[in-house]
């Protein structure tokens, strides 16, 4: 048996990833940036989502860290899932000593 905490989620950046089973987490609403590459032709654009999660306890941050090792992560958008990359070196995990752990990170996905 496992106990699951139920909390409200009116908004946010909902992500799932595979690491020894599927894991789910709702990060804060993301700041969206469009990254455009290329000059006169073959231009490609990607969406970057900068988000975070704050006030985490030790067991939560331990579970969340597995996202950084997953190669199969998806973002929930308008009722369906899209594949995302967690940008390397975008993840910052730190302990505020007062309000618990925080994690900042950037997701990248196709437009």
Partner 1 sequence: MDIEIEIVSTPIDGTCKWVTPESPVLFGLQRKDISNDDSSPAPDWYIDSTQDNGGYLEFTLSAIDSPFSEGDSLMLHDDTTGEELYGVITEVSGADFLTDIVWVAGTDIDYINNFTLFPGYYFEALLTINGVVNALTARAYPNSAGYADMNIAGVLQTTILPGKADETLNINPEVNKSGRFTVSFRPCYYGSDESYVEEGGYWSYASFVRNSIQGGNLLEYEGIFIDEDPPDDFNYVYPICNQFEKPVFFKGLPFDLSFLLNRVTNDQTFTVTIAIYDATNTLIDTISYEVEGSSTNSSRLCSAVISPDDIPDEAKYFDVEITSVVSV
State the residues that interact with partner 1 by CB under 8 A: 1-9, 12, 14, 16, 18-26, 59-60, 62-63, 66, 69, 71-72, 74, 76, 81, 83
Both tokens of 67, joined, read 């996202």
Both tokens of 99, joined, read 């309000």
Provide the H-helix boundaries in 35-94.
58-65
Residue 20 or 40: the one with the smaller Cβ distance to partner 1 is 20
**71 SS3 class:** coil
Residue 67 or 106: the one with the smaller Cβ distance to partner 1 is 67
Nearest distance from C-beta of residue 62 to partner 1, angstroms? 7
Q: What are phi and psi of 99, to 5 degrees?
A: -100, 20
Q: What are phi and psi of 67, to 5 degrees?
A: -60, -35
Nearest distance from C-beta of residue 64 to partner 1, angstroms? 8
What are the beta bridge partners of residue 102?
94
Residue 72 or 96: the one with the smaller Cβ distance to partner 1 is 72
Nearest distance from C-beta of residue 36 to partner 1, angstroms? 26
Nearest distance from C-beta of residue 91 to partner 1, angstroms? 16
């Amino acid at each position: 048996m496992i106990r699951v905490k139920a909390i409200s989620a009116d908004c946010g950046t909902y992500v799932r990833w595979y690491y020894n089973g599927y894991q789910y987490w709702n990060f804060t609403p993301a700041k969206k940036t469009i990254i455009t590459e290329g000059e006169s032709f073959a231009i490609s654009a990607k969406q970057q989502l900068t988000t975070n999660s704050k006030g985490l306890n030790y067991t939560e941050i331990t579970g969340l860290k597995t996202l950084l090792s997953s190669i199969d992560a998806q973002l929930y958008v308008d009722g369906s899932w899209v594949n995302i990359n967690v940008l390397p070196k975008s993840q910052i995990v730190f302990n505020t000593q007062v309000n618990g752990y925080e994690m900042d990170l950037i997701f990248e996905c196709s437009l």
